[in-house]
Amino acid sequence: MPLEQQLDICLRITVAAILSAIVGFERERADHPAGLRTHILVGLGSALFTALSLFAFENSDKGRVAAQIVTGIGFLGAGAIIQGRKPTSIHGMTTAAGIWAVAALGMACGSANYLIAAVAAILIWFVLSILGRIERQTFPSNKPDKDEEMIPAGPPRTNSPQEMRRRRRKAE
């Protein structure tokens, strides 16, 4: 790959990192698990994958990598979702959606659509920061219960011998 093209990709991933940092900073400030570094890495990685798919693999289907980014980030976002003890108590959906949106922002930077990426970053920040405050003031009953024990969303606990021993030790 020529040096000019490599410098162009460096610019793309740098812009993605900066715009993703705007979103990540808000999440870090609000003390959410996926904060500044997570959002920067997701945006930067998405931009890099997108740019490489456009330039590094000449005779390939350019849309394949984009499709895989969406799938992979969906999996990453699923890890941010936590289910409370009550079946209706699910936390982390906004964080997962933010990670997903930052991946799209990174893809926009990776394909050199900087204006779209900048507007997306501003809108994502607005939704998470400003609308988040308005939502908490307007609907205070939707605030998560701080004392509620969180469990990862996923299959129910097993009754394997190792799990039973662990529970017995914990109970003692």
What are the pLDDT digits (tens) for 67-95? 888 888 888 777 777 766 666 666 778 88
Residue 68 to residue 29: CA distance in whole angstroms: 30
- Indicate the range of 10-14, 128-132, 144-148 predicted with least confidence: 144-148
- Indicate the range of 21-35, 82-96, 98-112, 153-167 predicted with least confidence: 153-167
Question: Which residues have C-beta within 8 Å of that of residue 48, sequence separation ≥ 6?
Answer: 9, 13, 106, 110
Residue 44 to residue 14: CA distance in whole angstroms: 7
Could you tell me the strand order of the sheet in which 90-91 lies? 90-91, 82-84, 150-152
pLDDT tier for residue 61 given thresholds of 50, 70 and 90:
confident
- The residue segments making up the domain with residue 82 are 3-171
Number of structural domains the chain divides into: 1
| Vertex 137: Cα angle to 143 and 144 (nearest 5) | 5
Give the C-alpha distances (Å, rounded to integers) separating 72 from 20, 76, 104, 118, 142.
18, 6, 12, 23, 30
- Look up the pTM and report it: 0.69
